[in-house]
Amino acid sequence: MSESSRVGVESPIGIQESRPGGGALLVAAFVLLSLNMRIFFGGVGPLIPTLQLSHTAATVLTTLPPLCMGLFAPTGSALRRRIGDERALFTAMAVLVVGIVIRSGGTAGLFAGTIVAGIGVAVLNVITPVLVKKRFPPERIGVMMGVYAMMMSSGAAAIAGLSVPIYHATGGSSAIALGVAVIPAVPALLALGTQLRFGPDKGQAGAPAQWSGLLRNRTAWSVTGFFGLQSLMLYTIFAWLPTIYVAKGIDAATAGLYLSLCVIAVSAGGFFGPSLAGHKPDQRPHVMVTVVLCFVGITGVLVAPVSMAPVWVVILGVGLGAGQGIPGVLYVARTRDRQTAAQLSSMAQTVGYVIAATGPLLTAALFSVTGSWTLPLVVLLALLVVNMVISMPAGRNHTIG
């Protein structure tokens, strides 16, 4: 038996695998997984004006994804302890596929499927950064988290741009426009199937997922606050940006394209943010730039002429993308081992997505009271100032514990 067959083959990107080709299969699975992380949500915002929902129903629909991702994030930690990271990711992707299919079944299916898909993504959210820490070498973590955020945003951008044209091309079928999200989800499920030979790590099964130490840690709360408020911005913009521009006199298709452009920029920010942050021991400058970009972008949406909308949605998108990618680097950089990284990821996403879920609700309530999008956007700007203050410890060069 050759030495390589006994100890495994190291892929060109530095991943130790137990058989030739394992590295390529892992990367393919990781890329396809990342592509599907937000695709189930990206098409909803542009279709809201066509779904014939009441304002209350539309608000609930846009709130469900982040709320489910927060409430069910602890499921990710529990599932990975029982069956391992790779098998838990496969299971969660299967749940996501089922949710997308259910969502195409009329109004009731739209809400039920959104909940099911949100549960699947909640598990994917928690485990994916842990998988990166486990299966990729340290010097690749920043780049891989950049790929994760970029592909996640690319999927959302594609569906945001295509949903309205598909709706019109199919004679006004929202079921088909929403159901096309299953097309990239099935290959991701099949790719993750190649990783099922990996079970729980030694000592992982039965290990408690306790937050007790993290709940008393300032850095853990700083990471959670940064992620939560940045996610609040993201889901509020995803939910209401087309509606904001329709209120400014733009037609629904063009408003949907503005969201698509914003999400493309999210993809760019999602790649470069964590890629740059992962190469530095101190991420405070990256956190600061992220918040500033969001502040400038929302200010442009609020006060700039509509003709300049593409400029401001791109700036905003870059900031939002960095704000989604950099927390994944922080989960890894601020912790000493995978168990703590999983606990921090679970805590930040459980609390953070519940915070994020208040964004669409808050802005909708403020709009209902004032009849204008001015006050909701001003409140978002104020929250960004708060985020700048509370997020600095998250980027400081140290580890929890």
Question: Model confidence over 218-252: pLDDT tens digits?
Answer: 999 999 999 999 999 998 998 889 889 999 999 88
Closest Cα to residue 39, out of 183, 170, 172?
183
Task: Pick the more confident residue, 211 or 334.
Answer: 334
Is 284 within a domain?
Answer: yes
DSSP state of 74: H
pLDDT digits (tens, 9 = 90+) for 280-323: 899 999 999 999 999 999 999 999 999 999 999 999 999 999 99
Tokens standing for 117?
């898909």
Is 37 within a domain?
Answer: yes
Lowest mean pLDDT segment, chosen from 97-106, 163-172, 197-206: 197-206
Question: How distant, in Å, are the alpha carbons of 41, 105, 349 from that of 156?
Answer: 7, 21, 19
- What band does 13 get if pLDDT is binned at 50, 70 and 90? very low
Query: What CA–CA distance (Å, rounded) separates 261 from 267?
Result: 10
Range of the domain at 271: 17-196+213-395
Q: How many domains does the chain have?
A: 1
Is 10 within a domain?
Answer: no
Task: Pick the more confident residue, 60 or 205.
Answer: 60
Q: Assess whether pLDDT exceeds 80 at residue 131.
A: yes
What share of the chain in percent tops pLDDT 90?
A: 46
DSSP H helical segments within 170-249, as ranges?
A: 174-179, 182-193, 212-215, 218-247
Is 88 within a domain?
Answer: yes
- What band does 41 get if pLDDT is binned at 50, 70 and 90? confident
Burial state string for 170-186 with b = 16 or more CB within 10 A and e = fewer than 16: eeeebeebbbbbbeebe
Is 8 within a domain?
Answer: no
What pLDDT does residue 205 have?
52
Q: How many residues does the chain have?
A: 401
Instruction: Please give the mean pLDDT across all residues of the chain.
Output: 86
Instruction: Look at the block and give the residue holding tokens 């190649």.
Output: 194
pLDDT digits (tens, 9 = 90+) for 357-370: 899 889 989 999 99
Query: What CA–CA distance (Å, rounded) separates 5 from 129?
Result: 29
Q: Are 186 and 33 contacting, i.e. CB atoms less than 8 angstroms apart?
A: no
- Average pLDDT value for residue range 174-194: 91
In terms of average pLDDT, the best of 39-43, 107-111, 209-213 is 107-111
CATH number for the domain including 231? 1.20.1250.20
- What band does 202 get if pLDDT is binned at 50, 70 and 90? low
Is 201 within a domain?
Answer: no
Query: What CA–CA distance (Å, rounded) separates 198 from 185?
Result: 21
What's the predicted TM-score (pTM) here?
A: 0.76
Is 339 within a domain?
Answer: yes
Query: What CA–CA distance (Å, rounded) separates 389 from 400?
Result: 20
Task: Based on DSSP, count helices (H) and strands (E) in the chain, helices before strands.
Answer: 19, 2
Q: Assess whether pLDDT exceeds 90 at residue 4.
A: no
What pLDDT does residue 2 have?
36
What pLDDT does residue 96 have?
96
What pLDDT does residue 101 have?
93
What pLDDT does residue 18 have?
38
What pLDDT does residue 145 have?
85
pLDDT digits (tens, 9 = 90+) for 324-337: 889 989 998 898 88
Q: Which amino acid does the sequence have at 214?
A: L
In terms of average pLDDT, the best of 222-236, 259-273, 346-360 is 222-236
Query: What CA–CA distance (Å, rounded) separates 393 from 194?
Result: 39
Contacts of 334 (CB under 8 A, 6+ apart): 219, 220, 223, 344, 394, 398, 399, 400
Query: What CA–CA distance (Å, rounded) separates 301 from 221?
Result: 30
What pLDDT does residue 19 have?
38
DSSP H helical segments within 304-373, as ranges?
A: 309-333, 338-370
- What band does 54 get if pLDDT is binned at 50, 70 and 90? confident
Q: What is the dihedral of CA 53, 61, 237, 367, to 10 degrees?
A: 60
Q: What residues pair up with 9 in beta bridges, in sequence order?
A: 17
Query: What CA–CA distance (Å, rounded) separates 126 from 77?
Result: 7
- What band does 57 get if pLDDT is binned at 50, 70 and 90? confident
- What band does 10 get if pLDDT is binned at 50, 70 and 90? very low
- Average pLDDT value for residue range 116-131: 91
What pLDDT does residue 7 have?
32
For 9-22, give the DSSP string.
EE-TTS-EESSTTH
Is 102 within a domain?
Answer: yes
What pLDDT does residue 1 have?
38
